[in-house]
Chain A
């Protein structure tokens, strides 16, 4: 990567950040820090070494390499790091109603505020302020008014829309670098949890699959292979890499972002490069999870078999010891085996921990995927010894990481499963020490109901909700 310096705007998670705190966070010498407002009021042009700090806004402007920017962006206390790139002079007076209307309506973050979340709205508000200050740094004309308006907004943080709206159209032409958020991540309300600092920080999530390939949007913390004759957990199929991206693709300005972008990914290769494996490989992988401090096992795999005693025991052992097991329900609906597949169908009557979260798949309109497995075979004596669908998540045309540093669409309950695994990581970060049973309980009790009743055999308890589950 080229070590080219560019000016970036760093927005802190806390609305106001002291110079001392910023110095520590940015790891920059105190002598380089300038009070942003005073500096700009003196009509000075910042040199490459100047760090302009806007204390009351919680924003700093400084020159960084891309690598440094990414490092800072990964800090918990930092909300965003955005490149201060090409800008154009504001074409008209900023003190105009429509200028402000445009400023807000052009904001990607404000678009997210449409889901009635106050946090989203404030985020959009902060983003708009960020753009104002990006303009201030480059444009000398109108500078004073911009600062005055920003100060006004800053003093009214819970009133995102100014009462006296300016009138002239404002077209923000400042290209900013934001992480594109896929529809499926928004649909499960992960972004709302992130804004409360819940991003799966450090929670170990294992992807039991075809391995995980190296990818710029993924950090693989470790892994293992249980494929006979193979010691590498690299992925030559793409399935595991795709699932890994849904769980924890990084929040880094490009590609996609996962449900729990700060979770730690582990590649547990239990399926070969054709996407096939044996139950014994998978149970061995689950044992590895137990021994390696994994908190969530995401298993986008299965077969059309009846519930297995071995799997039920393995799942129980995992969940008794703090490893939440999330498994795809299967893609067999409409076949001769329409029921929840194995191992998602595992159950031991009276022992809740022997059953995993079984995840079905819906599309972006909350419609169940045509082949999403559901229900279970009824035993002759009338009981139902078959784990049912617990919940659903997006699983149709999901964009995620694939081989060759690329991105691609895949569909199936395999894609739904890692959304729930990501949510489990968020919950475990939010409630350290929580039991697997209680993670599952939080997920199911906070689902948005879909289908004919609060629980049904197609949707389970409904669509997962990362926001509610982490409150």
Chain B
């Protein structure tokens, strides 16, 4: 699997002008500062959350320290 799942890529293509809330996982040892992303919120040392346009998502995905970019999905009680 690439850094962005096929499903998410398809969703971004279909809604190219939208902003997406995403979770960005970085290589162990790298922090939010290392990808210089304004407005990002650090959740754990190597996991950050941000609301980004499609272009920014694709740009960040090219950073070698980015492991994955995923939608900040909804969860609920089981």
Contact = CB atoms under 8 A, between A and B. Distances in A.
Interface of A: 209-210, 237, 239, 271, 275-280, 282-284, 286-287, 290, 300-303, 305-306, 308-310, 313-314, 317, 328, 330-331, 341-343, 412-414, 417
A301 B47 contact: no
A343 B73 CA distance: 10
B52 interface: no
B77 A209 contact: yes
Q: What is the size category of the interface that chain B forms with chain A?
A: 20 to 34
B32 interface: no
B72 A280 contact: yes
Given A283-B47, A286-B44, A310-B68, A303 B73 contact: yes
- A-B pairs, top 7 by smallest CB distance, nearest first, are A309-B68, A275-B77, A414-B78, A328-B78, A310-B23, A280-B49, A303-B75
Given A280-B49, A309-B68, A271 B76 contact: yes
Contact of B70 (A237, A287, A308, A413): A308
Interface of B: 5, 7, 21, 23-25, 41, 43-47, 49, 67-68, 70, 72-78
Contacts of B73: 278-279, 303, 305, 308, 342
Contacts of A305: 73
B23 A302 contact: no
Main secondary structure of the interface of B (DSSP, over half): strand
Given A276-B77, A313-B25, 18 more contacts: A209-B77, A210-B77, A271-B76, A271-B77, A278-B73, A279-B74, A280-B21, A280-B23, A283-B43, A300-B77, A302-B76, A303-B74, A309-B70, A310-B25, A314-B44, A317-B45, A343-B75, A414-B77
B47 A271 contact: no
A284 B42 CA distance: 8
8 contacts: A280-B23, A280-B41, A280-B72, A287-B43, A290-B44, A308-B70, A309-B68, A414-B77
A301 B45 contact: no
A238 to B, nearest CB: 10
A365 B52 CA distance: 50
Contacts of B5: 306
Main secondary structure of the interface of A (DSSP, over half): mixed
Nearest to B42: A287
A279 B73 CA distance: 6
Nearest to A331: B78
Contacts of B43: 280, 283-284, 287, 314
A301 B44 contact: no
Given A309-B25, A309-B68, A276 B46 contact: no
B75 A278 contact: yes
Nearest to A379: B1
Given A308-B23, A314-B44, A317-B44, A276 B74 contact: yes
Contacts of B46: 313, 317
A301 B75 contact: yes
A68 to B, nearest CB: 39
A271 B75 contact: yes
